[in-house]
Chain A
Amino acid sequence: SQQGEEDPQALSIQEGENATMNCSYKTSINNLQWYRQNSGRGLVHLILIRSNEREKHSGRLRVTLDTSKKSSSLLITASRAADTASYFCATDGGGSYIPTFGRGTSLIVHP
């Protein structure tokens, strides 16, 4: 299965701190994506990182990919209360472009 598994399942931090979430997967991938989901809402695409890339940045977000360890991390720097949400990684590969989602990390940022 391509399914990514996020770690930790839940993360609670204070505003201003950095938040790091990890995603591990089992087989070779083409792409890995990170999404955000506010409670009861749809998903918002954050970053796509390809298998031949090692790091990508977008604003306060930094994503790394280590294909040798089959893992990725999402770092949110200087977190804000508005960053409170669930974060999912999704991987695709093995001839399919259809991403498979992990269970997500629930992030709570306390003001």
Chain B
Amino acid sequence: GAVVSQHPSRVICKSGTSVKIECRSLDFQATTMFWYRQFPKKSLMLMATSNEGSKATYEQGVEKDKFLINHASLTLSTLTVTSAHPEDSSFYICSASKTGKSNEQFFGPGTRLTVL
């Protein structure tokens, strides 16, 4: 199989705090991981693409200092929402690719972030 986990599944935090979300590929090495954001009843919006050991590539309009991505190993990528505000509340989904071709993505279960 190709299982991707995310932790935590839900997080509620106060405005101004930072939140870290982990994405792990459990049974394969992920050369590339992707972070998406999804608003209610909306499409997935790609935020950034990260390759192990290098800086993430952010999509236009996504603040890299706001959404810090670290892909320290072939099985772990983290997304840190810094100084979170209520407008950052959303469903964040990661996916991982075995071969680097993103049309072979395996998605995590998502993390629901609520900023009070």
Give the residue of A42, A97, A100 whose beta carbon is less than 8 angstroms from that of B109: A42
Whether A40 and B103, one on each chain, are in contact in the complex, defined by CB atoms closer than 8 angstroms, is no
List B contacts of A106 (CB < 8 A): 41
- B residues contacting A by CB (< 8 A) are 4, 6, 34, 41-44, 46, 49, 91, 93, 95, 101-103, 105-110, 112
Q: Closest residue of chain A to B42, judged by CB?
A: A103
Write the A1-45 contact mask toward B (1 if CB under 8 angstroms, else 0): 001000000000000000000000000001101010000111111
Q: A48 vs B106: C-alpha distance in the bound complex, in angstroms? A: 13
25 residue pairs bridging A and B, Cβ less than 8 Å apart: A3-B43, A35-B107, A40-B110, A40-B112, A41-B110, A42-B4, A42-B108, A42-B110, A43-B95, A43-B107, A44-B107, A45-B106, A45-B107, A48-B103, A88-B44, A92-B102, A97-B102, A98-B49, A99-B103, A100-B46, A101-B43, A103-B41, A103-B43, A104-B41, A106-B41
